[in-house]
Amino acid sequence: MEITSEDPGLVARVAGLTKSYGSGSTAVTALDNVSVGIRKSEFTAIMGPSGSGKSTLMHIMAGLDSVTSGRVWIGSTDITGLDDTELTMIRRRRVGFVFQSFNLVPTLDIRGNIMLPFELDGRSPSDDDRRWIDELVASLGLAPRMSHRPHELSGGQQQRVAIARALGSRPDLVFADEPTGNLDSRTSREVLSLLATASSSYGQSIAMVTHDPIAASYADRIIFLADGKVIEDRGRSTASDISQYMLGMEQVA
């Protein structure tokens, strides 16, 4: 896909992105000249075998890691040359995260966890923000849990809190790294449906890293990585088509 610096349909993009770790004979090229954009209001899955560069791509797009060469934009902001303070600001204002391990703050109750992005950004939620968060909390079934601590909730409930936290400030883009990796299959389906609904009904842009074909089948679009390169970029597919494709990849590799 061609990447231009002004494409309003893309919420994040990288162009000519290469990332190497280490140097000399021990250098590892995690990403090799990748150019790809994440489309606004879509639910995109980033798939590939372990070690293919999925997390590295996500971290760089989210401003959590630096590039070796190439450029990275969030919206129309080129974040490639920003310093840590500027990147922190961008992350707080424009990006939300959902992790495999939930990453809730154990000492805060559920309300405190959900409001944390506002706290960290030093702004109080508007009436409109509060209405949106109340709606999220209600639709996620978290209303009776607001004064509980994370350890009092099941894994699925904790991940719903993490999703409410990520969606609450309506960031430009939500990154999810294996969000169902620690959940049973029924709870996984609930969490995936929630992410899909956030994008189809509310226009939330979401990029989800996964190696699970069932998880990827909930996405509007699937980008496949292998050995640090994008090898396939396709629309919604069934879990069985995705599995077939991945099996084929392994045989070629």
For residue 185, the minimal CB distance to ligand ADP (Å) is 22
Q: Does 210 bind ligand ADP (CB under 6 A)?
A: no
Backbone phi, then psi, for 243, in 5-degree steps? -60, -45
Q: Does 55 bind ligand ADP (CB under 6 A)?
A: yes
Please, which of residues 201-240 interact with Mg ion by CB under 5 A? Answer: none
Query: How many CB atoms lie under 10 A from the CB of residue 27?
Result: 11
- 77 or 182: whose CB is closer to ligand ADP? 182
Q: CB under 5 to 8 A by kind: which of ligand ADP, Mg ion, none does 30 bind?
A: ligand ADP
Interaction pattern, residues 9-48, with ligand ADP; x per rule: CB under 6 A? ------------xx-----x-x-----------------x
Among 35, 55, 100, 139, binds Mg ion (CB under 5 A): 55
- 5 or 69: whose CB is closer to ligand ADP? 69
User: What would the DSSP string read from start to end of 66-116?
Assistant: --SEEEEEETTEE-TT--HHHHHHHHHHHEEEEETT----TTS-HHHHHHH
Binding site residues, Mg ion, CB under 5 A: 55
Q: Which residues lie near ligand ADP (CB under 6 A)?
A: 21-22, 28, 30, 48, 50-56
